[in-house]
A and B are shown apart, each in its own frame.
Chain A
Amino acid sequence: MNLWSRLMCSCRRRSPWIFHMNSGSCNGCDIELVASLTPRYDAEQLGVRLEGSPRHADILCITGPVTRNSVHAIETVYGQVCSPKAVVAIGSCPATTNVFIDSRVLDGPLNRHIPVDVFVPGCPPRPDAILQGIAKAAEILAERGSRPLVNEENQQ
């Protein structure tokens, strides 16, 4: 690995910009994600910035058990995030559909539709756990960025 790609790898790890998406969540995980950005937990120390546009983001944070209505939106937004990108599933719902399992309005869990890198289980998870998940996703992102070809295959 040459100097430029090592620098790029380090910068990707230290500057994860996140985009938050709700796929039918009960709002519990969303509140905890917002709490992790507040002064008490201060995600900005890790370089985390909450972005308004998926085009700006590196990490897609998805909450909720994936309702049928949200599937198309999830796929669109995942396509709009520019590569290299990573996905963090926040809460038990996107991982297993949680207590809503076998509901007819759901089309979950999340990894049936897009590849998920980090699961942060909990109902809801604590803000520190969410931060740990984002930090782990940033490391995955940095590694993935240095191997772009493998990344393309994974997405297929």
Chain B
Amino acid sequence: MVKTRTALFAVTYLSAAIGYVTVMAHVHPAGHAAFWALAVLSVFRHGLRPFQVSRRWLNLLAVSVMVLSLSRLRADFLVEPLLDGMLILTGIKLLEAEKARDYMQIYLLCLFLLLGSGLMSLSASFLFYMVPLALLLTVSLMLLAFEDAAPGAALPKEALRKIAWNAGAMCVLSLPVAALLFLILPRTNFPLLNFLNQAAFGRTGFAESVRLGEVASIQEDSAVVFRAQMAPVDQGLLYWRGIVLDAFDGITWRPSRSSRSEPPAQAASPQPGDLRQVIYMEPYGLNRLFGLDRPVRIEGVPAQRSADGTFRVWSPIFKKTRYVVWSRVKTPYREAPGDLQKLLALPGDLPPRIRRLGLHLTAGKRAQDAVRDALAFLQSDRFRYALNDLPRDLESFLFDKRKGNCEYFASALAVLLRLGGVPCRLVGGYRGGYYNETGGYYLVLQKHAHVWTECYLPGKGWIRLDPTPPLAGTPALAYGERLLTRLRLLMDIINYHWFRLVVDYDVERQLALVRKARTLARNLAKRPEPPQGWKAAAAVAAMLALLTAAVGTVLHRRRHRENPGRKLRRAFASKMRRYGYELQPWEGLEEFVLRLEARDVREKALEFVRPFNEAVYRKGCLDKATVKHLTRILRDL
């Protein structure tokens, strides 16, 4: 026997723990401390009962906590203060928990905490917390009902197990309804949730300008930038173009002013051979859109195309965004270079050593030769790839330290080529990405951030040049080997689908669904077309699965088929229970009926019992007709 109260406490603390875990990452340290202190105090209080707490003081405390957290609210800092406040409120309520309404408030607060964490992360982990929390809340509501009916009562373990089962069944039963509601509830096309979670994202691994030696820890950052749904392509093609930097002042590369003020170029229409990618962009705080080099057309979001082959949206991306990119991956890319002066400009204070090196390496040569020689110089053994202890500037990279990351290599190449009169510029974006076989997408992380060089060869077009030595080992292969990373990969797939299917579900998708359903209905009404290709295979597989399921069910039912007599008897018993008579298992039906007090019930019950007894005990078997007949009598009972 377990006391209802004990069970209730256990369930409540578990719910509170889940609520705490969901928001753990977003809470102020003071919030953590306060919650822990209050929770420990409440355990102490409910366990030993050494003291009573005054409700008045607690309420005062709660109000002041809420006032404090509301006072911290700012337009871009909405959710966190509320989460802090609610977490502390949960602690206070735990301390206060005495009456049914206290418990209800705790559960409500836990739900709010969960919702808040869902707003903060917009990830599928919401679901993982949601399911156990819903289960616990259902259990505790039932326990509350018991406690309310008989305060201080105890329940046998069997009953607790039954409660848990029922709660689980309720949750499972509510799932289809929830799914249906999700699909049909009206949506807006305006993402209401977005303004709430702006502050949560400010990841910058990618910047509008590249300053030498300023490399942040972005190369170590494994936060997701975007996922690109596409077929796997050659590793050498994986350059995700984001920004073009054509102005160099000796230390920093940035887009030239004129290129920013250029009128937007017309979006090209995709040609055969172009690659289509669906990009799911994580919020990252800038307005650039990425696509496989070179993107020619972007659909799905209103994007502005620059003359240098980059795309941008009107405002920084602060929400998960989905768009389609068409890319022409063939190099060289034929396009007029535009202003050649700009692509050859060098800062006046370029160190003489670099000028001399340029004269030696590239000056006076044909463009192709200059490119080849400069590349050979940078890719020789003299230069190493490094992420720390980086050189101060380009001069020290070229002549002293001879190690650096992509920014140094790319700008060195660009400077050398410009010295040789080859128009070129830097391109910023990402290189590589892990292909997720299961999900069918490339996962691109912040640490894939990369800068490379692009030069214009007269008569040929733009050529992509990447002087940075490739890292040892192909990352895409190494990634999936460790168990932990594999788990992360799996989580990423779940998150990806969560976003694709749930978070991104808006009115357009709803309408598309309706259209699809309508077409399907129309097609079904028409003469069915012969299935072809994979459709046929899928149909066969589905049929086989159905058949297997049916056979399995039949076998299972046959093995577990209940004696029809027993079934009828149980049905009769439940009918009688409605009249308030309990049929004991050791009781024969006739003696049971004869002890019924209500005359009319007895008469009616006898109508069932007589043929039932005769069929079961005289003939020894219940045939279908008898069962039907008896069922009819039962229904009338």
Q: Do A and B belong to a common assembly?
A: no
Chain B residues within CB distance 8 Å of chain A: none
Chain A residues within CB distance 8 Å of chain B: none
